[in-house]
Amino acid sequence: MARRVCDGVLDQLERVDDGHDDIGLLAVNLTRRGTLASAHGFTSVELAAERASAAAARRVVADGLSLRGLDSLVDVAVLLVSEIVTNAVRHSRGPVRLQLAVHADTVRVAVSDDLPEPPRPEPADDSAERGRGLMIMGALADRWGVEMLPRGKRVWFELDFED
């Protein structure tokens, strides 16, 4: 993985000589329309509002956690991010922003979209293919919530871990 990321960076890195060497930004192309910026314990990626973005989000989260030695969180984090990215893509019109932050003992994943309404539970019977996302979030995340933004919202969840 690290070699693939480095090769992608070398292919796309352009040096801008503006006389300032105090700030660096690393960007890697993830998909045709998604880019990843990563620094220390924080990763941010913008994804197109299309179905393939859920798979890209799962890869970002799985790779980001694995690179930090948090393999025990991958399955739950991937399931939860898949739920919220799928909903964001289904209901929003513009790009979706995924953020992964690893703190001392917590992983926080947030997905922002341009839809100004908070998510709402949908009734789901035994045969329904949809409507269980918030129930799954409540059952598996240590904490989760919604933050209203000036243009849309951010749905987030946190998973705790021990060093």
Give the pLDDT score at 91. Answer: 87
Domain boundaries, the chain: 2-8+27-122+130-160
Q: What is the DSSP string of the chain?
A: -HHHHHHHHHHH-----SS--S----EEE-SSS-EEEEETTEEEEEE-SSTHHHHHHHHHHHHHHHHTT-GGGHHHHHHHHHHHHHHHHHH-SS-EEEEEEE-SSEEEEEEEES--SPP------TT-SSS-HHHHHHHH-SEEEEEEETTEEEEEEEEE---
Q: Which of 20-24, 39-43, 126-130 is predicted with the least confidence, judged by mean pLDDT?
A: 20-24
pLDDT in tens, 5-35: 333 333 333 333 334 333 333 333 333 334 4
Which CATH code of 1.10.10.10, 3.90.550.10, 3.40.50.300, 3.30.565.10 fits the domain covering 2-8+27-122+130-160? 3.30.565.10
